[in-house]
Structure formats: C-alpha cells, structure tokens
C-alpha cells in the first residue's frame, strides 16, 4: 500500500466492503477489504476484469452506493459528507443525458448543479466543449450525437467547476483512436495543472501511458498495487540494445533471452549480474551498446499473467 503523507492524499479508501443481498437473503460479496490511496496531483489507475468490483468501489467513494464497511475520504474530508464531493468531477461508465437538450443546454444544467456562477457558466461551458472537440456541436440536440460525442460531453461535464479531483470510469469508451489520444492528453494536462485523476479503464495501453500508480482489483480484492514502473519491471532482468556486430558474442548468446535483430540493432535481455560482462563482450567484439535499462513488460502482459495466476490458485 502507498505510504503517502496525510496532507498529500487526495483520495483515501480503507477497508471498503460491499455485500449485496438477494430477495431471498442470500449474500454476495462484491468488494472485500479494498484500500486505495491516491496522492494529490497524480493519475491513479484502477484495473480489473468485468465484475471485479472497480465501479462499485468508485460508487461507494462518491456516495452512489452505500458501503457495507470502510472509510472513504476526499481531500481530507469524510466522503459521506456531501460537501466533500464539491471537489469532485465524475464521468460514470454509462453516462445518461436528456436527449432533448443541446450540448450547451446540458452543460448549463450540469453547471448549475455543480454550482458554477451563472455569470461565468456560458463561457466555461463553451471553453470545455471546445476542449473536448464539441465546439461546433454546442447547439446540436443530444439525440443527434454519436456515442463518441456523448462520451466527450460526459468528460466536459466532469470538468465543470474546475474540480480538484476527477473520477473517470471508462473515459475512452466509444471513442475512436483520435478521441482516445485526446483523452490521454487531457488527463496529462489535468495532472500538469495539479488535478488528481482516478481512472478506471479496460484500455490497458491508455493506463500504462498516463498513470503514475495502479491498483488491480480481482474478485473483489486488491490483487496488486504499486507505482507503474515498479509493477512492470521484471525482477532480475536487464534489457540491452546494441549495434555494430553481425552476431552476438558466444558468451552473450548463451545467457540472452528475447533476442531480436532489426535494422542493424540487437535487442535482448540478460540477468542483472551479467550486465557488466555483456557490455565488455560487445565492446571487445567491436560493437556499440546503445541502451541498458531494467527489463519491463507491458501492462497487458502483467495483467494477463496476474489473472492467470489467480485462476490457477482458485482451481
């Protein structure tokens, strides 16, 4: 668990639990003892397969689902107190908008609910619509919007009132590749300006590109949590890139894994303790070492491996 100092914490979830009871009284535990600490001014990803408990956890934080147990804080305030949520902008997984309204009318409606002053609301709404690429659609009724346009509107309304914390549940859903890139850039801009982003997403490449820290929830519990770099670094392995040699020296080839050759550049990984000897061997062979860095796997590979391991334990 993160050891962030209390004054630097934007969101704190401790021991979150949610039990649903059926009509016949049968219990189903959707979330069990989930704890997440999000530092101010960072982007924190929450990942997990469908039904893992991600959205339930977010909704408990925001007061949209009553928790069975747990402590929830936003910017140091008890999240059960309504005023704590004035700091928060929220994009739900499946946003709904009154389709008879235009985009500008919808922004005015949500801006009024958020408490944006009436004399600045139109200007702020127009600025945010432009920020998400909807400036030309401000006067268009939402019934004529595509799914991607509605998603962009949802992001715009989440930013009304310049919240200190933005909670985004699947923000790239329904967006084309350009739209997904725009969302990534938007989150990075928010972080650069000191806004805290709590992101739930199935777009693992998106999470890997923008998140500082990641929590993975599986079967209602935290399966992994760490800084993204520490999470993805492969312990005991170093990646090496070199050029200027026709073949790897025998001593290097004997211990190298994941060997690839492209455009005159060799790429491979070796045990950490062998790095010095590998560099010397390549130098002796007349080659040039271009890069030496900790071996890192993709978030997609890490995620798949973690869930596969959990399934084997259950079996």
pLDDT, tens digit, 9 for 90 and up, residues 85-138: 888 999 998 888 999 999 999 999 999 999 999 999 999 999 999 999 999 999
CA dihedral 217, 223, 224, 225 (to 10 degrees): 50
Which tokens in the block code for residue 95?
């946003």
Which tokens in the block code for residue 128?
């945010």
CA dihedral 74, 79, 82, 85 (to 10 degrees): 30
Cα 213 to Cα 37: distance, rounded to the nearest angstrom = 10
Cα 145 to Cα 129: distance, rounded to the nearest angstrom = 14
Helix (H) or strand (E) holding 33: strand 27-39
pLDDT, tens digit, 9 for 90 and up, residues 17-29: 999 988 888 899 9
What's the pLDDT score for residue 235? Answer: 81
With a CB cutoff of 8 Å and minimum separation 6, the contacts of 268 are 239, 240, 248, 252, 256, 257, 258, 259, 260
Residues of the chain below pLDDT 50: 1-2, 315
Helix (H) or strand (E) holding 38: strand 27-39
- Selection from 272, 264, 266, 310 nearest residue 293 by Cα: 272
What's the pLDDT score for residue 164? Answer: 96
- Selection from 89, 94, 127, 130 nearest residue 110 by Cα: 89
Provide DSSP, 229-252: HHHHEEEEEEEEEEES-SS--HHH
Evaluate whether 237 touches 269 at the Cβ level (below 8 Å): yes
- Selection from 222, 223, 214 nearest residue 298 by Cα: 214
What's the pLDDT score for residue 5? Answer: 60
Name all domains of the chain by residue range, CATH numbers in brackets.
Answer: 9-230 (3.40.50.300), 234-299 (3.30.70.100)
pLDDT, mean over the chain? 92
pTM of the predicted structure, to 2 decimals = 0.84
């Amino acid at each position: 668990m993160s050891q962030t100092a209390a004054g630097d914490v934007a969101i704190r979830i401790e021991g979150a639990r949610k039990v649903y009871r059926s009509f016949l009284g049968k219990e189903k535990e959707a979330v069990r003892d989930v704890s997440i600490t999000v530092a101010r001014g960072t982007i924190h990803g929450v990942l997990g397969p469908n039904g893992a408990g991600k959205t339930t956890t977010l909704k408990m934080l925001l007061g949209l689902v009553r928790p069975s147990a747990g402590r929830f804080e936003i910017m140091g305030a008890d999240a059960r107190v309504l005023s704590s949520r004035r700091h928060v902008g929220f994009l739900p997984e499946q946003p709904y908008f009154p389709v008879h309204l235009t985009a500008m009318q919808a922004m005015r409606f949500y801006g009024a609910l958020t408490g944006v002053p009436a004399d600045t609301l139109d200007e702020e709404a127009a600025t945010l619509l432009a920020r998400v690429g909807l400036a030309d659609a401000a006067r268009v009724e939402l019934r004529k919007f595509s799914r991607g346009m509605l998603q962009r509107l949802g992001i715009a309304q989440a930013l009304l009132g310049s919240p200190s914390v933005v909670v985004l549940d699947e923000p790239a859903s329904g967006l084309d590749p350009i739209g997904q890139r725009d969302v990534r850039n938007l989150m990075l801009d928010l972080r650069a300006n000191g806004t805290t982003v709590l992101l739930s997403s199935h777009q693992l490449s998106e999470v890997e590109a923008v998140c500082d820290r990641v929590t993975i929830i599986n079967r209602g519990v935290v399966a992994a949590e760490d800084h993204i770099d520490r999470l993805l670094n492969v312990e005991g392995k170093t990646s090496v890139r070199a050029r200027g040699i026709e073949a790897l020296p025998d001593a290097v080839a004997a211990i190298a894994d994941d060997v690839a050759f492209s455009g005159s550049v060799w790429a491979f990984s070796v045990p950490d303790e062998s790095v010095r000897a590998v560099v010397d061997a390549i130098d002796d062979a007349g080659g040039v070492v271009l890069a030496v860095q900790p071996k890192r796997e993709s978030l997609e590979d890490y995620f798949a491996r973690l869930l596969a391991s959990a399934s084997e334990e259950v079996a």
